[in-house]
């Protein structure tokens, strides 16, 4: 019995040792794999500082990027907009739709192409954008300024939401500011802070350059944000943005329909022209009501989807055939 007891003890001890050895072997053999996976996960996502371009310009005017304060202000906006990935990807996608509308108007009006980036940062290219202060549209016009520069602003029609007309009005404003300051950079700053605000600071601080001005947070960052968005959109892949062409928002193909009378109900009008009320309003955000009185018999050009032109042509042919 003694021999049997010790034999059993020995057997149990051997079994325990074997289990411990196997478990240790399993643990140690697993450790390198876990470590490699962890390192791979860490290395797959890296946050890096950004190289600052050696030369930067806005509207053909050189930016004194060698100055520490200018360089750091630009760096801040470059970092913010590079690592706010979702917003900047939306900028890239929307720019493909709205730049082709804005660019020809800027060129025709003699305003530098860089001002398309001003419109982008103002509204994020959301046609119905409205600020807490009441500025609206792609160019964020206030009501009084819009009227001063020729835009119709009423209960039924608000041309601050009209992309082409508001762009033309913005050009008038910017050219007037450039004539006053002799600088497109200060014209851009005045677009944000107003002419009187910039004049007051230029006089107080005895300088003639935006880059020498101590300004409030919003206007102090304003031009640098334009510069950062310009830099990123012109070198998207360099900053890590890879957007396939098919993912860009395409231009909307439209046809224009002129009216000189009122419209009792835009839902009925949309159906009659082969579209929907929603699409009609999307294409014409400047139409603010579900109707249009137009007592002055003014001519308005209403954008309709290109397919509605084919619908109207088919409708006209069918009507002719029925006669």
Q: Domain with 140 in it: what CATH number?
A: 1.10.530.10
Q: What pLDDT does 46 receive?
A: 79
Inter-axis angle of helices 217-234 and 85-109, nearest 10: 90
Residues 249, 94: contact at Cβ < 8 Å?
Answer: yes
Residues 66, 142, single domain; the answer is: yes
Q: What pLDDT does 314 receive?
A: 66
- pTM (predicted TM-score): 0.83
Residue whose C-alpha is closest to residue 157's, from 285, 295, 301, 303: 285
Residues 156, 258, single domain; the answer is: no
- Residue 97 located in a structural domain: yes
- Residue 49 located in a structural domain: no
Residues 67, 19, single domain; the answer is: no
- Residue 47 located in a structural domain: no
Residues 103, 237, single domain; the answer is: yes
Residues 183, 151, single domain; the answer is: yes
Residues 139, 65, single domain; the answer is: yes
Q: What pLDDT does 12 receive?
A: 46
Residues spanned by the domain of 308 = 254-322
How, if at all, do strands 61-62 and 57-58 pair? Answer: antiparallel
- Residue 223 located in a structural domain: yes
Residues 22, 61, single domain; the answer is: no
Residues 66, 177, single domain; the answer is: yes
Looking at the structure of the chain, the number of domains it has is: 3
Angle at the Cα of 24 from the Cα atoms of 22 and 28, rounded to 5 degrees: 120
Q: What pLDDT does 29 receive?
A: 45
Neighbours of 315 (CB within 10 A): 14
Q: What is the mean pLDDT of each run of 10 residues along the chain (323 residues)?
A: 42 49 46 47 73 96 98 97 96 98 98 98 96 96 97 98 98 98 98 97 98 97 98 96 96 95 97 96 98 96 87 64 60
Last residue of a domain, one of 247, 278, 299: 247
- Residue 44 located in a structural domain: no
Residues 163, 220, single domain; the answer is: yes
Residues 65, 6, single domain; the answer is: no
Q: What pLDDT does 307 receive?
A: 85
């Amino acid at each position: 019995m003694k021999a049997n007891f010790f034999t059993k003890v020995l057997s149990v001890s051997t079994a325990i040792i074997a289990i411990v050895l196997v478990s240790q072997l399993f643990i140690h053999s697993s450790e390198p794999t876990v470590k490699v996976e962890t390192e791979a996960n860490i290395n797959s996502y890296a946050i890096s500082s950004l190289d600052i371009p050696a030369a930067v310009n806005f509207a053909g005017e050189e930016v004194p990027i060698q100055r520490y304060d200018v360089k750091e202000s630009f760096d801040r906006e470059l970092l913010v907009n590079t690592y706010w990935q979702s917003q900047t990807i939306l900028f890239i996608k929307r720019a493909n739709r709205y730049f082709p509308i804005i660019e020809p108007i800027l060129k025709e009006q003699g305003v530098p192409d860089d001002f398309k980036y001003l419109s982008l940062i103002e509204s994020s290219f959301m046609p119905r954008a409205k600020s807490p202060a009441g500025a609206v549209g792609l160019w964020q016009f206030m009501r009084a300024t819009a009227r001063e520069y020729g835009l119709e602003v009423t209960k039924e029609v608000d041309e601050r939401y009209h992309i082409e007309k508001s762009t033309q009005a913005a050009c008038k404003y910017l050219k007037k500011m450039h004539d006053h300051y002799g600088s497109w950079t200060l014209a851009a700053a005045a677009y944000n802070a107003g002419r009187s605000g910039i004049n007051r600071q230029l006089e107080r601080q005895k300088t003639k350059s935006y880059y020498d001005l101590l300004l409030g947070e919003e206007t102090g960052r304003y031009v640098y944000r334009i510069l950062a968005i310009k830099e990123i959109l012109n070198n998207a892949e360099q900053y890590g943005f890879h957007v396939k062409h098919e993912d860009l928002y395409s231009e909307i193909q439209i046809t224009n329909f002129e009216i000189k009378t009122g419209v009792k109900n835009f839902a009925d009008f949309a159906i009659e022209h082969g579209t929907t009320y929603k699409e009609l309003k999307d294409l014409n955000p400047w139409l603010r009501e579900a109707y249009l009185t137009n007592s002055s018999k003014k001519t308005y050009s209403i954008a309709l989807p290109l397919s509605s032109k084919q619908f109207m042509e088919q409708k006209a042919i069918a009507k002719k055939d029925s006669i």
